[in-house]
Amino acid sequence: MGGTLHGLAIGGLGVGARSVRGLAIGGLGAGARDVRGALVTAGWARLEHGTLRGLSIASFNQLKGAQRGLAIGIVNYAQELHGVQVGLINIARNNSPGTRVLPVVNVHRSE
């Protein structure tokens, strides 16, 4: 992954860049370190130690960093959630122990 993706990018298998400013759509995967916009894929959306500001839609949203926005998937993981996760299994590492793993919806509001 390198550079900045501005605007719209569509890839048959996957799409990735260090930074996404717009919409990245990948068949099996989409990833970035910093996103201001959206990652959309049928497979795996990955954020690597950065921040997502916007939307991520995937079967598996693996957001190793800060999620500020909405994630929709079968399994959603956020190291630091400041938004909403909607899916079968929702994991927010910064939530209290009783709300770290929840079905259907998980929420964490920034103070």
Instruction: Report percent pLDDT > 90 for the chain.
Output: 88
Contact between 91 and 76 (Cβ < 8 Å): yes
Q: What is the mean pLDDT of residues 25-32?
A: 94
> Would you state the pLDDT for residue 109?
73
Contact between 103 and 89 (Cβ < 8 Å): yes
Confidence band (pLDDT; 50, 70, 90) for 18? very high
Phi, psi at 50, each rounded to 5°: -140, -145
- 58, pLDDT greater than 60: yes
Could you tell me the pTM of the whole model?
Answer: 0.92
> Would you state the pLDDT for residue 111?
58
Structural domain total, the chain: 1
Q: Cα 81–82–85 angle (5° rounding)?
A: 60
- 36, pLDDT greater than 60: yes
* pLDDT tens-digit series, residues 62-97: 999 999 999 999 999 999 999 999 999 999 999 999
Domain span at residue 66 reads 4-108
